Amino acid sequence: MGAVDSPTIGNGIESRIPNQSAGKYRRMDAYARVVEDEEGEMSELRNSGSSDRRKYVFACAVFASLNSVLLGYDVGVMSGAIIFIQKDLHITEVQQEILIGCLSFFSIFGSLAGGRTSDAIGRKWTIGLAAIVFQTGAAVMTGAPNFLTLMIGRLLAGIGIGFGVMIAPVYIAEISPTVTRGSFTSLPEICINIGILLGYVSNYAFSGLSEHMCWRIMLGVGILPSIFIGFALFVIPESPRWLVLKKRVDEARSVLLKVSDNPEEAEKRLAEIEEAAGLMNPEKTEQIAVWRELLHPSPALRRMIITGFGIQCFQQISGIDATVYYSPTIFRDAGINSDSIVLAATVAVGFTKTIFILFAIFLIDRIGRKPLLYVSTIGMTASLFGLGLFLALLEAELVPSKLGITVAILAVCSNVAFFSIGLGPVCWVLSSEIFPLKVRAQACALGALGNRVCSGMIAMTFLSLTKAISVAGTFFLFATISALSVAFVYSFVPETKGKSLEQIEMMFQNGRGWEGGGEVELGDGEHLVQREKTSPGNLVVHSYVDEVHLQQ
């Protein structure tokens, strides 16, 4: 008995060590199982809460994007309604160009005012203001007895659209988690495509009515989406970043708790926003008017402006609005004579545009912004060149008319498909991501200004341009511009996938904004690792594993 209890080295000790060791590791194994069970339950609860919060953010993004349905609907419905407006009001070809293109120019006023308005009354209420102004304009257009009244309605509708297209991406980017920001910020572009499709369907559905009534009903239907926006204002919260700018930090924290995966992430995001807003270090905040800062930018801000303004302009000068607005004209030039067949072909274009935007929303946060832009711009260049080539061959009667019509329809569908998978949504995502918090709303308004000016120029000059250099020559010109956009993407567009808005700002400030994706990908990995290590529940597992290694 003494030998067994004795601490001296001998058989007793040798027999006890394995027993202690076995008991020790049995206890550790049991503890590991308990930790695994607890971690599993915590992970399940965390994932459930995260899923609910992302559904909430998704719902907010959808509601904020409803104004984009109005823009899309106007683009789509005017392509067919103009046929009947011309017959009913006897307007000239120049008046047709003005009527179609003026919306983009009028929207400039909304976009410019939207930056100031969203900083003054908030992102949320600017969304509501956009719906009210557009709704008023749509009502005026519906009852317009002449061209002048129609133009007044277009003015109001354009201002409303300008507010909407500027504020929606900004709001969504500011409430979305980093890992889903690209997908959620693509929703306005998806809604534009849905609106275009609805406009085409409306054209086809009401084309059988009298010339006096059909275009009025087509335009009047556009009022309906804005009604739902009124209900949305009671659901969506204000942007937490705007609340921080207004020093309403407690309200910002409350919103972040609703849209973040866990409280720790919410506090981290709040700290980043506060620092970006200059509230933690007020002495570092420069008291310079925002527009003065934009007109005299720092080197980092200048790089951001070139990227954001440039991609907005290329989105439009590559001819997408001409393809959508004037698709009936293109199909007529290709040899289709029936109004109903022309409108049916435009519906096919609308379906194609809507379907391919769905691919973008699934891919933008998986493969990144820049690869989608490459696929998009290269594909658009090939499609536009092919369309111009076959229209030229048709004009020279070198191909059968049926083949030319088929290829023309396929080329138009291909062009809008490639646009929708990249340049369409990514343009708005990038514009809402790259600017600092202090100037984000105004800088996005500047980008929207470039977008709307280019859209208006294309829409108002397309018919005149086709008369000067032919329809085929016009699309060869668009193909050349699209090819230049490939070079612009290569030279000036960074990869922002996986970066928080504050990290993207630092990337430009450090002069690495235009350096390709290698370092960004490394940053993404570090961000994910840090997030994994700081999530609750993983701390217990990491510390436990460290303990086991130390004991071994």
Q: Where residue 206 sits, what CATH number does that domain have?
A: 1.20.1250.20
Token digits of residue 213? 């009534």
pLDDT band, residue 192 (cuts 50/70/90)? confident
pLDDT digit string, tens, across residues 441-470:
778 878 878 888 888 888 888 888 888 998
Q: Please state the separation of Cα 549 from the chain's center in Å.
A: 47
459 in any annotated domain: yes
pLDDT digit string, tens, across residues 271-328:
888 877 765 444 444 445 676 777 888 888 888 999 999 999 999 999 888 887 788 7
pLDDT recorded at residue 533: 42
Verify that 205 and 303 share a domain, yes or no.
Answer: no
For residue 362, pLDDT over 80 is answered with yes
pLDDT recorded at residue 18: 44
pLDDT recorded at residue 371: 93
pLDDT digit string, tens, across residues 77-103:
887 888 888 888 888 888 888 888 788
pLDDT recorded at residue 167: 84
pLDDT recorded at residue 22: 45
pLDDT recorded at residue 278: 66
Percent residues over pLDDT 90 in the chain: 12
Among candidate residues 475, 455, 493, the one with its CA nearest the CA of residue 374: 493
Report the pLDDT averaged over residues 162-169. 83
More confident residue, 260 or 373: 373
Dist CA 383 CA 239 (whole Å): 40
Verify that 228 and 342 share a domain, yes or no.
Answer: no
537 CB-near residues (< 8 Å, 6+ apart): 38, 39, 42, 43, 46
pLDDT digit string, tens, across residues 35-51:
444 444 444 444 555 67
Contact (Cβ atoms closer than 8 angstroms) between residue 324 and residue 196: yes
Report the pLDDT averaged over residues 163-190. 80
Among candidate residues 269, 475, 311, 327, the one with its CA nearest the CA of residue 390: 475
pLDDT band, residue 548 (cuts 50/70/90)? very low
CA separation, residue 484 to residues 319, 370, 457 (Å): 13, 15, 18
Verify that 374 and 444 share a domain, yes or no.
Answer: yes
Dist CA 168 CA 176 (whole Å): 12
Percent residues over pLDDT 70 in the chain: 80
Report the pLDDT averaged over residues 221-248. 83
Look over the chain and give the mean of its residue pLDDT values, rounded to a whole number: 77
More confident residue, 346 or 20: 346
What is the per-residue DSSP string for 348-410?
A: HHHHHHHHHHHHHHHHTTTT-HHHHHHHHHHHHHHHHHHHHHHHHHHHTT-S-HHHHHHHHHH
483 in any annotated domain: yes
Dist CA 180 CA 186 (whole Å): 10
36 in any annotated domain: no
> Which amino acid makes up residue 53?
R
pLDDT band, residue 152 (cuts 50/70/90)? very high
pLDDT recorded at residue 50: 66
Q: What are phi and psi of 177, to 5 degrees?
A: -65, 155
pLDDT recorded at residue 338: 74
Verify that 124 and 220 share a domain, yes or no.
Answer: yes
Q: What is the dihedral of CA 230, 234, 237, 243, to 10 degrees?
A: 80
Q: Which of 256-265, 432-441, 472-481, 504-513 has the lowest mean pLDDT?
A: 504-513
**Which helix (DSSP H) or strand (DSSP E) does residue 253 occupy?**
helix 249-259
525 in any annotated domain: no
The neighbour count for residue 290, using CB atoms within 10 Å, is 16
pLDDT recorded at residue 541: 37
pLDDT band, residue 475 (cuts 50/70/90)? very high
Report the pLDDT averaged over residues 369-374. 92
pLDDT recorded at residue 282: 46
Among candidate residues 326, 353, 331, the one with its CA nearest the CA of residue 342: 331
What is the per-residue DSSP string for 262-320?
A: SHHHHHHHHHHHHHHHTSSSGGG-----HHHHHHS--HHHHHHHHHHHHHHHHHHHTTH
**Of 236, 258, 283, which one is at a domain's C-terminal end?**
236
pLDDT recorded at residue 281: 47
14 in any annotated domain: no
Verify that 188 and 310 share a domain, yes or no.
Answer: no
Verify that 218 and 351 share a domain, yes or no.
Answer: no
pLDDT recorded at residue 75: 77
Token digits of residue 25? 């590791």
pLDDT recorded at residue 51: 72
147 in any annotated domain: yes
For residue 545, pLDDT over 50 is answered with no
Verify that 316 and 190 share a domain, yes or no.
Answer: no
pLDDT recorded at residue 279: 52
Verify that 220 and 145 share a domain, yes or no.
Answer: yes
For residue 529, pLDDT over 60 is answered with no
**Of 475, 494, 511, which one is at a domain's C-terminal end?**
511
Classified as helix, coil or strand, 54 is helix
For residue 376, pLDDT over 60 is answered with yes
For residue 335, pLDDT over 90 is answered with no
As for how many domains the chain has, the answer is 2
**Of 216, 236, 256, which one is at a domain's C-terminal end?**
236
217 in any annotated domain: yes
Verify that 188 and 325 share a domain, yes or no.
Answer: no
Verify that 313 and 232 share a domain, yes or no.
Answer: no
For residue 397, pLDDT over 60 is answered with yes
Dist CA 475 CA 382 (whole Å): 11
For residue 516, pLDDT over 50 is answered with no
For residue 4, pLDDT over 60 is answered with no
Report the pLDDT averaged over residues 415-442. 85
Q: What range defines the domain where residue 157 resides?
A: 51-236
Report the pLDDT averaged over residues 211-223. 86
Q: Which of 26-30, 109-113, 487-491, 507-511 has the lowest mean pLDDT?
A: 26-30
Block residue for tokens 């011309």: 86
For residue 157, pLDDT over 50 is answered with yes
108 in any annotated domain: yes
Verify that 307 and 450 share a domain, yes or no.
Answer: yes
Verify that 329 and 201 share a domain, yes or no.
Answer: no
pLDDT recorded at residue 185: 76
pLDDT recorded at residue 49: 55
pLDDT recorded at residue 414: 93
